[in-house]
Structure formats: structure tokens, C-alpha cells
């Protein structure tokens, strides 16, 4: 059975070709059980939709005595999709836009909906499954696959099951889950299951639900035991303890099912073909072929992506890479330090991906702070003063009162951060997913995401951290941030994101890319450039700000001394080199303080996270009995539903 399952998974993996076109970021599901055993399912699929393909789909196979009906689909604009009883899969993307319907196949039915525009999309799919919960002699319940990934597997998946009239508790319900890595449990009147990592192709969320008699009045009943016909089949081969689940020991149960002949007794001398061995040999051959095909497919896909990135890089820079980009003597992008830095970082990523040489420049938080502090010193927003301490002269930073800047161009469209700790998700018809076990807060930075905005916030932070004389003492900054961490957490999140950020392809243009690359080449080769006019010296302070940002300030200043056309003028900008050791403690304090603000959690957040982790750890016994604990990747046999879902 395990070998057959492995083969099936490999075949499914090799057959997927559209997986990379779309990304299912988050799948949220709420299943409401009606008194007659039918269920109403709400699915919220948060998707990054690509340019290819035309529809999303959910497949339902193996659905005896059940019907999928009452389909409704909405999107993030609350558009109600038109429902078609006979869905035509052959139509174009535009023809399927804002439409949904039933595609009936030889093995079941598919619920389909048009993808519409590319980008960040949200689809709410609502439908009813009749007779899912069936009545048995001992319990009511089901074993059903609510989600199976065919392509674009969910990065995160959450499932909640509630009863329409009654609360579900450990006294009247038990839940086991299969086919994914994650957790399940019972809490607050509902059942939950969720993945703890990105799902893979052909992963499933299979739920075995056992309900005490009298909780429902299922329309469909069967004169047989739920324990023996549904539960035993689902738990066999799983990671759950069968004795804790009320099924006796695994060995005795298996012997009872197979009979004594199959567990060791020799009946006669007849020739018996070892079909398992034959299947194993065939499987090895098929797996080998599939592995070769998968490797070849992956190699072609990688070659195609490399060619695409090489074409993009050559359009932005030049066919021969950075070396052919001409020097650019003016400040790139009008002196926009942040955009220049992130553009260089993005171009370097492209160069690395397509095998071209990099500019070998990078920046981090402390270098960013060093560059902005240096710029603020040049602007006299920060003044260096001498302070007599114990008979020794020490340099201190006097911070001027910041002035809020005018609006400017932002690097990104928004800076809203999800801190994964509580939320509820509204669905059509005033329904909501409580998701009490998932804690999430929103951290929103509302300032300008440009040079002026960064300077203003840094100056404001230093100004508020200093005493009444606004001369910053060594430990004042760290103490201030520790006393006000939540106030500065959004700013810290934004800065941290910038250091690892990249500009989207559609927001890059050739002129800006060549300015940034040409200017950084100019700084790196400063002493090799033959002519430096006196008019350029006026820009040299900003040159040093950019060089500080990329960690090459000392080399650039050394080159400036070699080629300076006017030594007296150069002397006016030389002094920051002597202050490098004095600036470092300030920028180190900024780095550690803002990293503290970024990682800080309130007492309430800590308590919720601790409770969440404690619950998720779950005891094995509790999990085996159908209460809180881990899911089982194996097991889950005899389920209804499934067949795959994704995009095509």
C-alpha cells in the first residue's frame, strides 16, 4: 500500500506543469454542519495570480450518496460571479471572467471559476455537500478530503468545523487528520486543522470526524458500525495509537483483518506469485524514469528562467553586463539613496541569477544608519560637540528638532506588516472564520518610504531619546526604545524590509538602472577616472554618503585625496573619516535598538503565543483520542472527496 502511494505521489508530481504560474498564499476554510448531516463550506483562497491559465477548480471524486450544489463565488471586490450549470473549460480567460460553474466528469464534478485579472486576488468559494455526515449504529461521522493540492499548493491552510446548533467539545466529538504536516484539535466549540508549513503537491487535508449520537439527525443512515467500517480503515497505517483510539492494538487489528494465513501460516505447497515483489520491481523502474523526466523538466524550466532574467538584465544594463555601463558622475535618481541602493541590490540579484559578474556591493542596517547619520551631520541636523567628562574631551551628538518632510516618491506601494501571532476573516453572508488558534497583528508604517522619511524618523528618534538639552548620551537611545518599543516597531519593520528588499520588475526602468550602476562604477574606479573638475567637489559629500551606504567610504576618500583638484576644499569634507569611530557607537545603538523594537512582543502577545505553542505541542495520547495534537501524514484510507484543486 505504501509503495503504491509513493508511486502515485511521484506520478502526480511529474504531471504538474502549471504549478509555478500561480501561488495560493493562504487557504481558509469554514465547514458548518447542518442538522440533517449536510455541510455548507466557505473557502477563502488568497492567490497571487499569474498571466497564464484561465480558471481555478476544486475536484470532488468518490462521492457516493452525496451532491455538491448551491455554488457561489465572490472576489475581493465583492463581485458576485454568474453561475453556470454546464461549465465550458475550453473558453478563454476573458470569457470566464466573473463566472463560475459545475464541470461534470466521468468520476465526479469540478467547481470552476474564472481567474480574471492577474495580481493579488481573493476568491471566496461557497458550496453545499449533502449527506456528508452519515448516521451509523454507534456514532455519526465521515472521513472526507477537504483539500488536495494538484498544482500551486497552499502555502498555509486552515480548516474550521462548527455545528449549526451545538458546540463541539471533547465530550461529543473527536477529530483525526491525515495527509499533511500540522495540527488539529477541539477548542471553543469548534474543530480546527491547519498546516505548519507550505504544502506540497498531492498533500491532502483529510478529516475523520466522529460525533456522539443525538447531536444530529442525519438524513442518510447506515446499519453498520462507524468504528469498524470508517474509523478503523482511516486510522490503519497512520501515526495514531489504535489502542488510545479505542481500536485495540495495531498488530491484533491487522491480524484480524488479514487472517492467520497471511500473517505467517503456510497453507500448502502451491506456487504463489509474489505480486508485491513484482509491483516493487515495476515501481522502481517507473520511479527511475519519472525521476529522469522530472529532472529534465526542472532543468528546462531553470534554463528558460535564466534566459528570461538574462534578457531582462541586458535590457536594463547592457548585453555585456556592468562593465559596459558608462560612468555616471551626477547623483543617481536625483540623489535618492534608498532607491539607488535597492536598485543595485536588485540588479546584483539578476546578475547572479543569469551568471553575469556582480558589482560586489551590498548594504545592511548599520551601513544605512551610517549613511543617513553622515548626511544629517553634513546638513547640520546633527552637530558634533565636545563634552568634558572626567577631564577627558569626548564627542557628543546634539540633535536638532526634526521638521516633517513633504510627501515624496515611495519605494513601495505599502508597508503593512503581518505579525503572526489573531484575526477573524469575514466571508459572504456575514459568516466569519474565528481562527481563535491563529494570532496575527497588523503593524502599519505610515511615514514616507523615501530618503526624507527615513531621515525624519531617525532624527525624531534621536531627538526624543535625548534629554532636555538634546545631547544624546551613550545609553539614552537604548533605554528610550526599550520604554517605547511598540511605537517604533512599524518603523523598525519597514527598515528591516528595505535592507532585504527588491524592486518589482515592472517598476524598474533602463535609465534609472544605468544611472545607479554607472554611478557605483564611478565611485569604485574614482582614482582611475582621469578628470575631476572643481565643480564636482560640491558633490563629494554626497559621494561619501553613497559610498558609506555601500561600505566603500574609506576607499573613496583615499581616492579623493589622490585626485583632489583643490586640497583646501577637500579638507572641509575630510573630517568625517576621523569621526568614523565616534559615529560607530551611535549607529550600533540604532541597529540594536530598532532590532529590539522589531522583535518586541507585548505581554498579551507573548501570553497568546505561549498558549498557542503549548496547545500545538499536544500530547500523543490526546491526539490519538481525537483531541488536540499533531496530524498524521499517513493513513486516512476510505475517504470521500479529493481529486485535486488548483489552477489551469
**β-bridge partners, 143:** 208
Angle between helix 337-353 and helix 365-378 axes, rounded to 10 deg: 150
- Per-residue confidence band for 288, with pLDDT thresholds at 50, 70 and 90: low
Q: Is the pLDDT of residue 581 over 80?
A: no
Q: Rounded to the nearest 5 degrees, what angle is found at the Cα of 517, between the Cα atoms of 566 and 337?
A: 70
Q: Mean pLDDT of all residues in the chain?
A: 79
> What span, in angstroms and rounded, lies between the C-alpha atoms of 81 and 116?
11
Phi and psi torsions of 466, nearest 5°? -80, 165
Prediction pTM value: 0.52
Contact between residue 339 and residue 411 where contact means Cβ atoms under 8 Å apart? yes
Instruction: Give Cα 385 distance to the centre of its chain.
Output: 47
Closest to 157 (Cα-Cα) out of 127, 130, 177, 176 = 177
Average pLDDT estimate for 359-381 = 85
Select the more confidently predicted residue: 386 or 385: 385
> What span, in angstroms and rounded, lies between the C-alpha atoms of 338 and 73?
42
**β-bridge partners, 19:** none
Q: Is 428 exposed, middle or buried (0-12, 13-18, 19+ CB in 10 A)?
A: middle
> What span, in angstroms and rounded, lies between the C-alpha atoms of 419 and 30?
23
Query: pLDDT tens digits for 57-101?
Result: 999 999 989 999 999 999 988 899 999 999 999 999 999 999 999
Average pLDDT estimate for 186-204 = 88
Domains of the chain by residue range: 2-9+21-245+625-647, 280-316, 317-599
Q: Rounded to the nearest 5 degrees, what angle is found at the Cα of 116, between the Cα atoms of 114 and 121?
A: 100
Q: Torsion over CA of 239, 243, 247 and 249, rounded to 10 degrees? A: 90
Select the more confidently predicted residue: 489 or 261: 489
Helix or strand run (H / E) with residue 257? helix 250-258
Contact between residue 109 and residue 60 where contact means Cβ atoms under 8 Å apart? yes
- Per-residue confidence band for 644, with pLDDT thresholds at 50, 70 and 90: very high
H helix count then E strand count, the chain: 18, 25
Here the contacts of 579-587 (C-beta below 8 Å, separation 24 or greater) are 579/377, 579/384, 579/395, 580/553, 580/554, 582/384, 582/395, 583/370, 583/373, 583/374, 584/370, 585/474, 586/369, 586/373, 586/397, 586/472, 586/477, 587/366, 587/369, 587/370, 587/373
- Per-residue confidence band for 414, with pLDDT thresholds at 50, 70 and 90: very low
Closest to 134 (Cα-Cα) out of 231, 30, 216, 61 = 216
Among the listed ranges 5-9, 26-30, 133-137, 640-644, which one has the minimum average pLDDT value?
5-9
- The confidence score (pLDDT) of residue 565 equals 63
Phi and psi torsions of 399, nearest 5°? -100, 125
Q: Is the pLDDT of residue 389 over 60?
A: yes
Q: Is the pLDDT of residue 134 over 80?
A: yes
> What span, in angstroms and rounded, lies between the C-alpha atoms of 399 and 621?
61
Average pLDDT estimate for 621-648 = 88
Contact between residue 164 and residue 33 where contact means Cβ atoms under 8 Å apart? yes
> What span, in angstroms and rounded, lies between the C-alpha atoms of 241 and 645?
31
**CATH number for the domain formed by residue range(s) 2-9+21-245+625-647:** 2.60.40
Please provide the distance, in angstroms rounded to a whole number, between the alpha carbons at the two ends of the chain.
30
DSSP 149: B
- The confidence score (pLDDT) of residue 400 equals 92
Q: Rounded to the nearest 5 degrees, what angle is found at the Cα of 146, between the Cα atoms of 141 and 152?
A: 170
Closest to 19 (Cα-Cα) out of 59, 48, 44 = 48
Amino acid at each position: 500500500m505504501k509503495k503504491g502511494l509513493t508511486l502515485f505521489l511521484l506520478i502526480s508530481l511529474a504531471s504538474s506543469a502549471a504549478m509555478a504560474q500561480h501561488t495560493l498564499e493562504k487557504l481558509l476554510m469554514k465547514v458548518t454542519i447542518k442538522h440533517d448531516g449536510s455541510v455548507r463550506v466557505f473557502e477563502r483562497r488568497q492567490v497571487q495570480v499569474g498571466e497564464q491559465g484561465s480558471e481555478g477548480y476544486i475536484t470532488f471524486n468518490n462521492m457516493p450518496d452525496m451532491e455538491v450544489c448551491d455554488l457561489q463565488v465572490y472576489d475581493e471586490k465583492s463581485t458576485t460571479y454568474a453561475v453556470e450549470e454546464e461549465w465550458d473549460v475550453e473558453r478563454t480567460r476573458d470569457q470566464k471572467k466573473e463566472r463560475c460553474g459545475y464541470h461534470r466528469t466521468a468520476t465526479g464534478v469540478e467547481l470552476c471559476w474564472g481567474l480574471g485579472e492577474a495580481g493579488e486576488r481573493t476568491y471566496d468559494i461557497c458550496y453545499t455537500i449533502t449527506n456528508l455526515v452519515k448516521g451509523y449504529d454507534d456514532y455519526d461521522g465521515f472521513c472526507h478530503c477537504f483539500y488536495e493540492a494538484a498544482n500551486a499548493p497552499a502555502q498555509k491552510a486552515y480548516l474550521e468545523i462548527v455545528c449549526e446548533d451545538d458546540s463541539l467539545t471533547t465530550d461529543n466529538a473527536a477529530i483525526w487528520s491525515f495527509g499533511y504536516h500540522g495540527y488539529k484539535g477541539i477548542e471553543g466549540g469548534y474543530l480546527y486543522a491547519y498546516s505548519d508549513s507550505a504544502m506540497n503537491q498531492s498533500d491532502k487535508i483529510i478529516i475523520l470526524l466522529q460525533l456522539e449520537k443525538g447531536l444530529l439527525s442525519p438524513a442518510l443512515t447506515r446499519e453498520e458500525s462507524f468504528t469498524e467500517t470508517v474509523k478503523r480503515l482511516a486510522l490503519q497505517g497512520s501515526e495514531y495509537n489504535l489502542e488510545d483510539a479505542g481500536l485495540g492494538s495495531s498488530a491484533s487489528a491487522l491480524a484480524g483483518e488479514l487472517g492467520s494465513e497471511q500473517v505467517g501460516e503456510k497453507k500448502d505447497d502451491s506456487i504463489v506469485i509474489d505480486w508485491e515483489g513484482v509491483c516493487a520491481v515495476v515501481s522502481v523502474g517507473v520511479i527511475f524514469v519519472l525521476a529522469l523526466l522530472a529532472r529534465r523538466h526542472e532543468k528546462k524550466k531553470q534554463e528558460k528562467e535564466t534566459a528570461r532574467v538574462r534578457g531582462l538584465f541586458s535590457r536594463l544594463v547592457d548585453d555585456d553586463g556592468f562593465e559596459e555601463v558608462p560612468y555616471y558622475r551626477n547623483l543617481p535618481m536625483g540623489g535618492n539613496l534608498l532607491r539607488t541602493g535597492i536598485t543595485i541590490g536588485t540588479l546584483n540579484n539578476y546578475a547572479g541569477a543569469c551568471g553575469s559578474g556582480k558589482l560586489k556591493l551590498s548594504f545592511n542596517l548599520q551601513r544605512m544608519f551610517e549613511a543617513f547619520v553622515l548626511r544629517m551631520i553634513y546638513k547640520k541636523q546633527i552637530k558634533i560637540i565636545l563634552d568634558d567628562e572626567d577631564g577627558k574631551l569626548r564627542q557628543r551628538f546634539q540633535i536638532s528638532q526634526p521638521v516633517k518632510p513633504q510627501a515624496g516618491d515611495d519605494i513601495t506601494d505599502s508597508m503593512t506588516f503581518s505579525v503572526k501571532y489573531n484575526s477573524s476573516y469575514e466571508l459572504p453572508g456575514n459568516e466569519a472564520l474565528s481562527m481563535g488558534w491563529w494570532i496575527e497583528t497588523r503593524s502599519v508604517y505610515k511615514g514616507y518610504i523615501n530618503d526624507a522619511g527615513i531621515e525624519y524618523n531617525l532624527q525624531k528618534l534621536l531627538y526624543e531619546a535625548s534629554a532636555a538639552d538634546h545631547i544624546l548620551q551613550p545609553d539614552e537611545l537604548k533605554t528610550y526604545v526599550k520604554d517605547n518599543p511598540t511605537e517604533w516597531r512599524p518603523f523598525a519593520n519597514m527598515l528591516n524590509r528595505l535592507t532585504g528588499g527588491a524592486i518589482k520588475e515592472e517598476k524598474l526602468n533602463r535609465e534609472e538602472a544605468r544611472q545607479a550602476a554607472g554611478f557605483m562604477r564611478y565611485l569604485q574606479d574614482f582614482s582611475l577616472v582621469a578628470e575631476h573638475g572643481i565643480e564636482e567637489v560640491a558633490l563629494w559629500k554626497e559621494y561619501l554618503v553613497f559610498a558609506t551606504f555601500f561600505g566603500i567610504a574609506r576607499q573613496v576618500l583615499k581616492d579623493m585625496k589622490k585626485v583632489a583638484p583643490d586640497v583646501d576644499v577637500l579638507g572641509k569634507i575630510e573630517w568625517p573619516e576621523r569621526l568614523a569611530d565616534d559615529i560607530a557607537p551611535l549607529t550600533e545603538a540604532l541597529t540594536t535598538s530598532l532590532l529590539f523594537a522589531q522583535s518586541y512582543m507585548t505581554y498579551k502577545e507573548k501570553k497568546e503565543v505561549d498558549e498557542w505553542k503549548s496547545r500545538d505541542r499536544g500530547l500523543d495520547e490526546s491526539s490519538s483520542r481525537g483531541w488536540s495534537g499533531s496530524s498524521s501524514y499517513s493513513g486516512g484510507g476510505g475517504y470521500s472527496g479529493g481529486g485535486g484543486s488548483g489552477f489551469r
